[in-house]
Amino acid sequence: MFIDNAKLDLKAGGGGDGCNSFERDQAGRKQRPDGGSGGKGGDIFLKVDTNVHTLLDFQYRRIFTAGRGGHASSNNKTGASGTDYLINIPAGTVIKDFKTGRQLADLLNPGQTFLACKGGIGGSGNSRHREAGKGEEGEGRIVLLELKLIADVGIIGYPNAGKSTLVSRVTKAHPKIAGYPFTTKEPILGVARVGDFDFVIADIPGLIEGAHSGKGLGDKFLRHVERTKVLIHLIDMAGIDQRNPVEDYKRLNKELGLYSKALAEKPQVIAANKMDVGKTAEASLKRFKAAFKKKKIIPISAKQGEGLKKVLSETSKILRRTQEECCKE
Ligand SMILES: Nc1nc2c(ncn2[C@@H]2O[C@H](COP(=O)(O)OP(=O)(O)OP(=O)(O)O)[C@@H](O)[C@H]2O)c(=O)[nH]1
Ligand SMILES: [Mg+2]
- How far is the C-alpha of 57 from the C-alpha of 60, rounded, in Å? 6
What would the 3-class secondary structure string for 178-202 be? Answer: CCCCCCCCCCEEEEEEECCEEEEEE
Asked whether 181 lines ligand 1 (CB < 6 A), one says yes
End-to-end CA distance of the chain: 39
Cα–Cα–Cα angle for 246, 203, 244, nearest 5°? 15
- Give the list of residues 6+ apart from residue 250 with CB closer than 8 angstroms, or none: none
Most informative mutation of 163, 164, 165 for ligand 1 (most atoms within 8 A of CB): 165
Q: How far is the CA of 282 from the centre of ligand 2 (A)?
A: 24
Going from the N-terminus, what domains does the chain have, and what CATH number goes with each? Answer: 5-147 (2.70.210.12), 153-328 (3.40.50.300)
Asked whether 240 lines ligand 1 (CB < 6 A), one says no
Among residues 247, 256, 273, 261, which one has the least CA distance to residue 164?
273
What is the DSSP-derived secondary structure letter of residue 130? S
Asked whether 303 lines ligand 1 (CB < 6 A), one says yes
Count of helices and strands (H, E) across the chain: 5, 16
Asked whether 187 lines ligand 1 (CB < 6 A), one says no
Most informative mutation of 303, 304, 311 for ligand 1 (most atoms within 8 A of CB): 303
Q: So what's the pLDDT on residue 241?
A: 67
Q: How far is the CA of 236 from the centre of ligand 1 (A)?
A: 9
Chain segment 44-64, per-residue pLDDT in tens: 999 999 999 899 999 988 999
- Tens of pLDDT, residue by residue, the chain (329 residues): 778 999 999 999 999 999 999 999 898 888 899 999 999 999 999 999 999 989 999 998 899 999 999 999 999 999 999 999 999 999 999 999 999 999 999 999 999 999 999 999 999 999 887 888 999 999 999 999 999 988 999 999 999 999 999 999 999 999 999 999 899 998 999 999 999 999 999 999 999 888 888 888 888 889 899 999 999 999 999 977 677 999 999 999 999 999 999 999 999 999 999 999 989 899 999 999 999 999 999 999 999 999 999 999 999 999 999 877 766 66
Does residue 84 sit in helix, strand or coil?
coil
